[in-house]
Amino acid sequence: MLAQEIIRTKRQGGALSVPQIEAFVRGLTDGGWSEGQVAALGMAIFLKGMGRDEAVALTRAMRDSGRVMHWPDMPGPVVDKHSTGGVGDKISLMLGPLVAACGGYVPMIAGRGLGHTGGTVDKLESIAGYQTRPDAARFDATVRRLGCAIIGQTADLAPADKRFYATRDVTATVESVPLITASILSKKLAAGLQALVMDVKVGNGAFADTPAMARELADSIVAVGNGAGMRTRALITDMNQVLGHTAGNALEVLEAIDYLKGVNVEPRQHAITLALCSQMLVLGGLAADEGEAQAKLQAALDSGAAAEKFARMVAALGGPADLLERPGQHLALGPVQKPVPALRAGVLAGQDTRAIGIAVIELGGGRRVASDPVDPRVGFAAVRPLGSTVQAGEALAVVHAADEAAADRAIAAYQAACQIAEQAPVATPLIAEVLG
């Protein structure tokens, strides 16, 4: 099947057949398609779109381009969650152990930071010794024994997606809803999931910065995920401010540990965590409804069962056995710590959340290019939520930096990203919609 004829079909607005899509994915995997041909079809799809049946076929074909995990004889449901990314979004660190403590099995294949958003793998790699790329046998054994394991994507999972994404990234075709959908779901299907809950972030700190875009993406993921045979539900959640108290890798791990121990729990983050986890329990048949699910989840937190799952997962994947007891011994923080003073008195009425995410990258906590090293020590702590009343000079946050100059630049960036007004902002809903 000629690559140029497949490209021509889509260029002219036609629907690709299953054999055409499978031929394209084979070409991605075995190198039979050139970079120019891959780029051309990516652009044609970007401009002409894809129907649901095409997106399902592409998702399945990319799933089957590499190893597909299977979980026979599991005593509970195999479920997971995925987020489109945000600033301070550390929910995966709490969610996996929390759902495992309630009887679920969570084989989470997580990602690194993308653009201005942080990545779960980068956060976990701030823990001394933690292996984000264990061999398949160790990953399998950890999930089966403990109920959860969080690792990075391996080369043998959906390799076609890895090549396609790299080409899209340099040809301005990333922002295609069907291609984003296939990229996310191919990896989740390859992980052998029975159910998936999607956290689609919306707001000035999200890739989907408008409700319409978030709704389109959520609807696509639910339809294609269910169409590919995986029970899928999506929540559209607010990302118009930093989530929780921290933004930065080691700082976010420390906050996740505090959360699991019931210390300094930030209300918005807690509500979203319970909402996502409860949907996982309901989809997995571990709870009849959200009320029952939330009661089980809160009990797992209060009893310490979720914290114990996290501690055992960290140890099983090479991290320290006493992380929960002595987190400060294993998580290094920036040597320079300075408050970010408010420039005037008033109410914190808005944040340019994307700018705060970029400030973390400028501190060294993210990557400008894929080969950049990440400094896990840096970021912002003690982040004040929107609606806070502040006096001039009062701290809006505390910056953790490698040196004084970096700290001062981050302070200026954070101040510029904050809007202080006379009146409190109009609150946006924490969870705008549930689909599926």
List residues with catalytic annotation: 80-83, 120, 168, 183, 187-188
Nearest to 143 by CA among 63, 66, 69: 69
CB-based contact 152:132 (threshold 8 Å): yes
Query: Would you say how long the chain is, in residues?
Result: 436
The answer for residues whose C-beta is within 8 angstroms of residue 17's C-beta and 6 or more apart is none
Please say whether the dihedral angle defined by the alpha carbons of residues 140, 145, 147 and 148, taken in this order, is positive or negative. Answer: negative
Nearest to 421 by CA among 349, 344, 351: 349
Number of helices (H) and strands (E) in the chain: give both, helices first.
Answer: 17, 12
Residue type, 61: A
For residue 200, the cross-strand partners are 236
Other C-beta atoms lying within 10 Å of the C-beta of residue 120:
27
State the Cα–Cα distance between residues 242 and 258, nearest whole angstrom.
17
Helices (H), ranges, 90-210: 91-101, 120-124, 136-146, 159-169, 177-190
CA distance 87 to 118: 6
Cα–Cα distance between 108 and 42 in angstroms, integer? 28
Let me know: does 237 contact 428? Beta carbons within 8 Å.
Answer: no
CA-based max dimension of the chain: 68
Q: Distance from first CA to last CA of the chain, Å, rounded? A: 37
Q: How far is residue 252 from each of residues 136, 202, 361, measured CA to CA in Å? A: 27, 21, 15
Q: Are 363 and 375 in contact (CB under 8 A)?
A: yes
CA distances from 156 to 62, 149, 159, 209, 311 (A): 11, 18, 6, 33, 28
